[in-house]
């Protein structure tokens, strides 16, 4: 396993945190510039990238196994969301769930636990396929979560403890 000095580990965590926030920025740019409206699962995936970014920024202050574990758990949540999204996109048109209300309405009308359940069950807008460079967006997010989960371990698992090097 790679063992980075503390300062390099902190810089790597900073770079990974910025990368996560850049991915969300790219998603917002696709929404604004190309009119790709995010479905509720897309929004949840953005939130997981923000969570991962926060984990990596915490790794700037406290690199170590905790950051590796938190990064992997966050990435696994994102992988599960991306796989669910890909499954919905693979359904035949006659099996696609009907479109539901927007996430903003759900949040204002239902308790958070119910909203999460409804979003994870999927809706018709989650089955629409928008492509970037030939791949659907959930494929890109799946690749991002896999990469970030592995990097969380590589950068933080054997991070030395102690003072800055």
Q: What's the number of domains the chain is made of?
A: 1
Determine, yes or no, domain membership for 163: no
Per the structure, the complete domain to which residue 122 belongs is given by: 6-156
Residue 164 forms part of a structural domain = no
Between CA 24 and CA 28, with CA 25 as vertex, the angle to 5 degrees is: 90
The CB density around residue 58, as the number of other CB atoms within 10 Å, is 16
Q: Is residue 116 domain-resident?
A: yes
Task: Report the share of the chain in percent with pLDDT over 90.
Answer: 37
pTM, to two decimals: 0.78
In which region does residue 51 sit, left (phi positive, over 0), alpha (psi from -120 to 50) or beta (all else)? alpha
- Asked whether residue 127 is domain-assigned, the answer is yes
Rounded Cα distance, 147 and 150, in Å: 5
* Strand positions, DSSP E, the chain: 131-132, 135-136
pLDDT band of 113, cuts 50, 70, 90: confident
| Residue 58 parent element (H or E) | helix 40-61
> Tokens 């009119």 correspond to what residue?
35
Model confidence at 119, in pLDDT bands (50, 70, 90)?
Answer: low
Express each pLDDT in 10-47 by its tens digit: 899 999 999 999 999 999 998 888 888 777 788 889 99
Domain CATH for 48: 1.20.1550.10
Name the percent of the chain lying above pLDDT 70: 74
- Name the residue among 125, 38, 122, 33 with its Cα closest to residue 81: 122
**pLDDT above 70: residue 159:** no
Instruction: Note the pLDDT tens digit of each residue in 69-88.
Output: 999 999 999 999 898 888 88
In a domain, 165, yes or no: no
As a whole number, mean pLDDT of residues 146-158 equals: 91
Question: Cα 78 vs. chain centroid, distance in angstroms?
Answer: 5
- Tell me the pLDDT of the chain averaged across its residues: 81
Residue 26 lies in a domain: yes
């Amino acid at each position: 396993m790679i063992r980075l000095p503390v300062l390099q580990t902190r810089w790597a965590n900073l770079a990974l945190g910025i990368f996560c926030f850049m991915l969300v920025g790219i998603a917002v740019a696709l929404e604004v510039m190309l009119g790709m409206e995010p479905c509720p699962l897309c929004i949840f995936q953005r939130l997981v990238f923000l969570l991962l970014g926060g984990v990596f920024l915490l790794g700037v202050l406290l690199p170590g196994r905790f950051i590796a574990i938190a990064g992997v758990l966050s990435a696994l949540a994102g992988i599960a969301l991306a796989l669910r999204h890909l499954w919905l996109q693979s359904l035949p048109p006659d099996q696609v769930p009907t479109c539901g209300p927007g996430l903003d309405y759900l949040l204002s009308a239902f308790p958070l636990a119910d909203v999460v359940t409804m979003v994870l069950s999927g809706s018709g807008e989650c089955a629409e396929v928008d492509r970037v460079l030939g791949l659907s967006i959930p494929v890109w997010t799946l690749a991002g979560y896999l990469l970030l989960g592995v990097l969380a371990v590589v950068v933080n698992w054997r991070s030395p403890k102690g003072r800055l090097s």
